Amino acid sequence: MRAMVMHSPGEPLRFEDLPRPEPQPGQLLLRVRACAVCRTDLHIFDGELDRPKLPLVLGHQIVGETEDGRRVGVPWLAWTDGDCRYCRSGRENLCDSARFTGYDVDGGYAEWVVADERFCFPIPEGYDDVAATPLLCAGLIGYRSLRLAGAAERLGLYGFGASAHLVAQVALWEGRRVFAFVRPGDQAGAAFARELGVEWAGPSDELPPEELDAAIIFAPVGPLVPQALRATAKGGVVVCAGIHMSDIPAFPYELLWGERVVRSVANLTRRDGEEFLAAAPRVPVRTQVETFPLEQANEALAKLRSGDLRGSAVLVP
Ligand SMILES: [Zn+2]
Ligand SMILES: [Zn+2]
């Protein structure tokens, strides 16, 4: 099968011919219909997540088709032991021995993939293969971040990309007021957010017109943490949604005082996936995508890096 293969961090992915993977008991063999590119892929590619299997096929937002014609989604969480302290308390996202798709096991930048059936999701009706792919991480981990933001009425989203544009739709549907923060100077990003119906869109180094009850930071930029705290009301929460972030600068305790909370979001549970994929068609969450042929995975990663995408890049084998 054709695949884009990572041999070492920072080196362009190579277009190669690999043997088709053999499903083990409990695994599905899937023909990859489409696979969206996630910022995590870029962190792995750059060596910021330091223990990938090598060589590696990236990609963990996969829509695949089984041999009997069912469409299933393969997310980041590939496998857990089911038995550790975290798994036994409903927190399999924190499992000590978890394996991740496109990191510990090969992912979807290929024509075929195998996946543990227990960790796959059915794809909701009303989404074609390409449109469904960003739901599987950008949507799903965004949804978990939104849940961890609590019942916040005034919600700030820092970094208005693949994940935020999906979370904004769910938050607006839930009746929240949404404030979008983009890179200073990114007029197109602010316009994109306003088109989706957010109440205010502006640069991330500005304060919003009102205090926020919660903020979610999608951009991997540590200095946004004190910035978001500064914009957040007493008792508010700042959720860091990415798997990697640059260092957070020191900040005065006063920004945290007043029972403000800073927390991260790690991975997903299968329950997050079931809840989000049930909610998505009801909103309905519309994904914005730009497609690339599989062999242009390097170009897709470069476009994500430069902030040149509206929504998600999706590879189609
Ligand atoms: Zn576990
Ligand atoms: Zn992801």
Distance 254 CA to ligand 2 centre (A): 33
User: What is the end-to-end Cα distance of the chain in Å, rounded?
Assistant: 10
The ligand with the least distance to the CA atom of 83 is: 1
pLDDT at 28: 98
Q: Please give the pLDDT value at position 307.
A: 84
Whole-prediction pTM: 0.94
Q: Which of 49, 41, 9, 6 is nearest to 244 (CA)?
A: 49
User: At 46, is the secondary structure helix, strand, or coil?
Assistant: coil
The whole-number pLDDT of residue 25 equals 97
Find the 205 Cα to ligand 2 centroid distance in Å. 26
Mean of per-residue pLDDT scores for the chain: 97
Provide the strand spans (E) within 97-231. 99-100, 112-116, 121-122, 154-158, 177-182, 200-203, 212-217
pLDDT of residue 50: 85
- pLDDT given for residue 305 in this prediction: 94
Query: Looking at the CA of 135, which ligand is closest?
Result: 2
Burial class (CB in 10 A: 0-12, 13-18, 19+), 23: middle
Could you tell me where the DSSP H helices lie in 37-110?
Answer: 39-45
Please state, in angstroms and rounded to a whole number, the distance separating the CA atoms of residues 52 and 108: 15
Determine the Cα–Cα distance for residues 82 and 84; give it in Å rounded to an integer: 6
**What is the torsional sign of CA 88, 93, 95, 98?**
positive
Give the pLDDT of the chain (317 residues) as one tens digit per residue. 999 999 999 999 999 999 999 999 999 999 999 999 999 999 999 999 989 999 999 999 999 999 999 999 999 999 999 999 999 999 999 999 999 999 999 999 999 999 999 999 999 999 999 999 999 999 999 999 999 999 999 999 999 989 999 999 999 999 999 999 999 999 999 999 999 999 999 999 999 999 999 999 999 999 999 999 999 999 999 999 999 999 999 999 999 999 999 999 999 999 999 999 999 999 999 999 999 999 999 999 999 999 888 889 999 99
3-state SS assignment for residue 313:
strand
**Cα distance between residue 177 and residue 250, in whole Å:** 30
**CA 109–ligand 1 middle distance (angstroms):** 27
Residues with CB under 5 Å of ion ligand 1 are: 80-81, 84, 87, 95
**Percent of the chain scored above 90 by pLDDT?**
98
Distance CA 52, CA 47 (A): 9
What separation in Å is there between the alpha carbon of 98 and the centre of ligand 1? 6
Ligand 2 centre distance from Cα of residue 78 (Å): 12
Output the CA angle 11-290-171, nearest 5 degrees: 110
Query: From the CA of 147, how far away is ligand 2's center (Å)?
Result: 17
